[in-house]
Chain A
Amino acid sequence: MIYIDIIILTLLAVTAVTVARIRDLWAAVMFTGIYSFLGASWMLLLDAPDVAFTEAAVGAGISTVLLLVTLALTSKTEKTSVSVPIVPLLVVIGTGAALIYGTLDMPHFGDPDAPVHTHPNPGFVERSQPDMHGLPNVVTAVLASYRGYDTLGETAVIFTAGIGVLLILRREKTSTEADDSTTEGTS
């Protein structure tokens, strides 16, 4: 079981370095898709299938397509910079060292006494079955019912983001596109 963890984390690191080093942007976009799939697999190993779902669908699916469409509008190769980036390197090393130092204070992986398992309220797990009349998915119960306000806010954020993209990118004349046919199957 530990081997698959090591394999996936190693592949994640290799993919990340590859994305940073590769100059062919088309290949880099493909590698970000691979990175997302590996991230989704890693989330699944951590027993977080909801997050894995989102990562696979958004990271590997939608954002890869959007990046590819963007490449079609711009250029497929990255300009090589001539200067040696010393200051960014120092910033990255400093930030990385601070982050690794920060992990020293964190509880061990899977520690039942970790704050995340004791602090918010384990009662959510215990109460959700009677509260929700037997809905088995505690994640959905917390997201949509106990924390309904937050999810409404998140939906409003997505709404706002969509409106923002529309306002910036949409062309003015959409005369030929008012093509009335069957409605889409969204709901």
Chain B
Amino acid sequence: MNSFPIVRIVSKILIPYILLFGLYVQFHGDFGPGGGFQAGVILASALILYGLVFGIPAAKAVAPPWIVEKFIALGVLVYAGTGVATMLLGGNFLDYDVLEHHFLTEITVGGQTLHMLPSGQHLGIFLVEVGVGITVTAVMLMIFYCFAGRETSSE
């Protein structure tokens, strides 16, 4: 599809914004609609669009399959690791309240209270959503690589 100038140019313009929107959905998911799953799919769709337009080798140069493979497991590890971390800190599995740290949580500047580092619950949700996002992105991308990488029987 690289030979169609309109598709190529529009994709080039759109892909950065799709990636940016994916990051927004990921990290703003606890304030607005969205979360790790949606963000992962959006991030993966940006990379898949890149692969569709510029060819699978180009996409594999951006996101090499051997790294994407590792990321499938890394996301689950981040999620479960958050649970193990809360256990090591003395709480139950995935009990984010023990992640409360009272370190730069809020500072007062000119009478205004600014929230600097998130509270325990916020930090826990943030971490597990990152885990979900990593796994979903990697799985979607890997499935696309598997399907698109096969030999085509007919055009």
The residues of A with any CB-CB pair to B shorter than 8 Å are: 49-50, 52-54, 57-58, 61-62, 65-66, 69-70, 72-75, 131-133, 135-137, 139-141, 143-145, 148-149, 151-152, 154-156, 158-159, 161-163, 165-166, 169-171, 174, 177-187
User: Would you call B61 and A181 a contact (CB within 8 A)?
Assistant: yes
Chain B hits for A52, CB < 8 A: 33
Q: Pick the contact of A162 from B120, B128, B139 — CB < 8 Å? A: B139
**Interface range, B side:** 35 or more
Our count of residue pairs bridging A and B at CB distance below 8 angstroms stands at 179
User: Would you call A62 and B41 a contact (CB within 8 A)?
Assistant: yes
* A contact face: mostly helix, strand, loop, or mixed: helix
Return A157 CB to nearest CB of chain B, in Å: 10
Chain B hits for A166, CB < 8 A: 69, 142, 146
Q: Pick the contact of A57 from B41, B61, B129 — CB < 8 Å? A: B41
User: Would you call B38 and A73 a contact (CB within 8 A)?
Assistant: no
User: Would you call A73 and B150 a contact (CB within 8 A)?
Assistant: yes
User: Would you call B140 and A62 a contact (CB within 8 A)?
Assistant: yes
User: Would you call B30 and A133 a contact (CB within 8 A)?
Assistant: no
Q: Pick the contact of A58 from B32, B41, B73, B121 — CB < 8 Å? A: B41
1/0 per residue, CB under 8 A from A, across B55-94: the answer is 0000011111111110111011001100100000000011
